[in-house]
Amino acid sequence: MRRRALASLAVWAAVIVPLSAGAQALPPPRPPSGSVLRAPGDFARIGDPTARAAAIFVEAGKVLQHPRCLNCHPDGDRPTQGIGYPHQPPVQRGDDGLGVSAMRCTTCHQAVNFEPARVPGNAKWRLAPASMAWQRRSLVEICALLKHDPLVGWAWSPGGYREPAPGTQADFGALIRAWADAGAACPAR
């Protein structure tokens, strides 16, 4: 099995790496105009704590429903990539969220990004548990699922040509803290 996986990787590397060897490094993407997160203080004028918490969670939802996060929170056994198109190669979740024996996530995704082939990386790369699927779910449903999910800071500095999640990880953390402090109410719709 391992020999087969290594052979697949060798074929992949033989095709992809030479194609990208002459490519110039791409500049980091500019954050899209809607990528800034409002600060928790921006919600202070909302007097009702439940309404304030729900409004804060809606703002945090910009991160939770961004493709950078949704790609690894699929509603099935296959992740997506980019802006939500099916992952290529067509990998599957596997029992441990790290792929199936012939195509483990770490076959391509290493501890760091591999920019010549545009393959993102992180030492803890894996799919979110199936119970934390966010794709095709509303913020109300995500809020109900979200008890404690350690978001990976990689989403805010994915490297290369990848669009980062909105704001910064610190901004998002401040929103979540403010949401919790305001009563952790979920939006009505």
pLDDT digits (tens, 9 = 90+) for 124-165: 888 888 888 899 999 988 887 764 554 456 778 888 888 888
Q: Tell me what pLDDT residue 12 has.
A: 39
Question: What is the three-class DSSP state of 38?
Answer: coil
Q: Tell me what pLDDT residue 87 has.
A: 92
- Name which of 141, 5, 13 is nearest 70 in CA terms: 141
Q: Tell me what pLDDT residue 14 has.
A: 38
String of b and e for 70-80 (b: at least 16 CB within 10 Å)? bbbbbeeeebb
Around Cβ 52, how many Cβ atoms within 10 Å?
21
Q: Tell me what pLDDT residue 157 has.
A: 81
The torsion angles phi and psi of 86, rounded to 5 degrees, stand at -60, 140
Collect the ranges in the chain with pLDDT lower than 50: 1-24, 147, 150-151
Tokens 């590397």 belong to residue: 13
Q: What pTM was computed for the model?
A: 0.65
Residues in CB range of 140: below 8 A, 6 or more apart: 186, 187, 188, 189
Q: Tell me what pLDDT residue 169 has.
A: 78
